[in-house]
Amino acid sequence: MLGHITMQQEVPVFYAATTGALVEGKQPLILVDCSNANKELRHFILRASMAVEGRAMTLLQMVTTESCERSE
């Protein structure tokens, strides 16, 4: 799916619909995770998920070239 340009354009619509259905009327616990997408550390996956009955349901996922390291 990452290499399919047309599908990538539809991803925000999918995530918006999923998030709306999951969050409606709730105060969700949002989990944020950042992982390396490749060994060269040039791409990272940033993911926001909602805890639902012991499972993490993805609300948004994107690939970025910015490092996920925390700066303090």
In the beta sheet, which residues pair with residue 33? Answer: 47
**Tens-place pLDDT, residues 30-70:** 889 988 888 888 888 889 898 888 888 888 888 888 887 76
The domains of the chain are located at 5-64
* pTM of the predicted structure, to 2 decimals: 0.63
Residue 59's alpha-carbon distances to 6, 32, 47, 64, 70, in angstroms, are 20, 10, 8, 16, 22
H helix runs in 1-72, sequence order: 5-23
Q: Provide the pairing of β-strand 30-36 with 44-52.
A: antiparallel
